[in-house]
Structure 1
Amino acid sequence: MTAISEKQNAGNRTYIAQGEYAIGDGEEVVISTILGSCVATCLWDPVARIGGMNHFLLPEGPAMRSDVSSFGAHAMELLINSLVRHGARRERLRAKVFGGAEMYKGLTDAGTQNGMFVLSYLARENIPCDGQSLGGTLARRVEFMPALGKARQKLVPDASLVVEIVPVTEQTSDLELF
């Protein structure tokens, strides 16, 4: 087995987008994604040498939405359950987490909420977090080698333009429209 994915992969390299996840067990397998305020969790079992990555948008969402894999708790369970179905042991899982940037200053704190959610989820589930890169204002490109438990990130400087949302104040003028 090399890459197992919920989506079509390109050989040993799989790109995941928001709401997706992929797992793999070959040393040549690489799973990648690009994150802003979203969070990616890389989980692996060092004994079974299998791991995977998810990419979620928000900690929670409406229960009736069809894209529930875009939300934290569901995305985490999908990834964990898939790893266990393919030979990982839940009690041996290790994690590394990335993302949660503040991409739009003053508009939302979704990135912070995502980071807090994933860390509290891992603590609650007794999954050790061996590494994290959360917060900041830069987007990240993350690559994960699931069989080895190795991850690397590259900050994306072109995304460093944090947009500051300034509230519009009502202005008065001598112009009357009718």
Structure 2
Amino acid sequence: MARGRPSKKSHIVEAACELFTKQGYQSTSIDQVVLTAAVSKPTVYSNFPTKLVLWETALSALTERAQEEMEQALSSQNTTADSDFVAGWIALWSEWIGKPERLASYRILLGEQHKMAPSTFALFAEFEAVLESTLLAWMTVFSVPNERFFILKAVSKEALLTPALMNQTITGKDELRAQLETLSY
């Protein structure tokens, strides 16, 4: 019986991830997770005593998945012969914001801060560290000074992440490229 628990637990987390992505934290109930995962309520509560614990577990799973995906994206950028720094930088950001579950994670943390525990903020810092470590690794490939990281990240966040979170038009690649080229060297 104990052998089935990890897969059942991960199944519950996957169901919760889907619901949190589609509905957010506030609108997702344990009852919905029970229905989506097709498990009993006691099964959910025996693994996750509160919705916050379930969300934190889901955020950890999303962070692990993001780490794998961003490592793959970085690797594919590194193997592209005609890649330049700015094109790769934009591609890595596009990969990051291209996943609805990542955008949902930002929305949940920003919109539900008052319901989160200090441990949630620590997990979110780990989540964001995936993007930052990927971007820093990309900068290293092109010998872009680390002192440029903050400004490059800030411009990219304003041009790409913020509009994506607000369902607004993202800054055009040519316009963003022009801005980043002046800042990267």
Indicate the TM-score class for this superposition, using the shorter chain for normalisation.
under 0.3
More helix by share: 2
Output the TM-score relative to the length of structure 2.
0.23
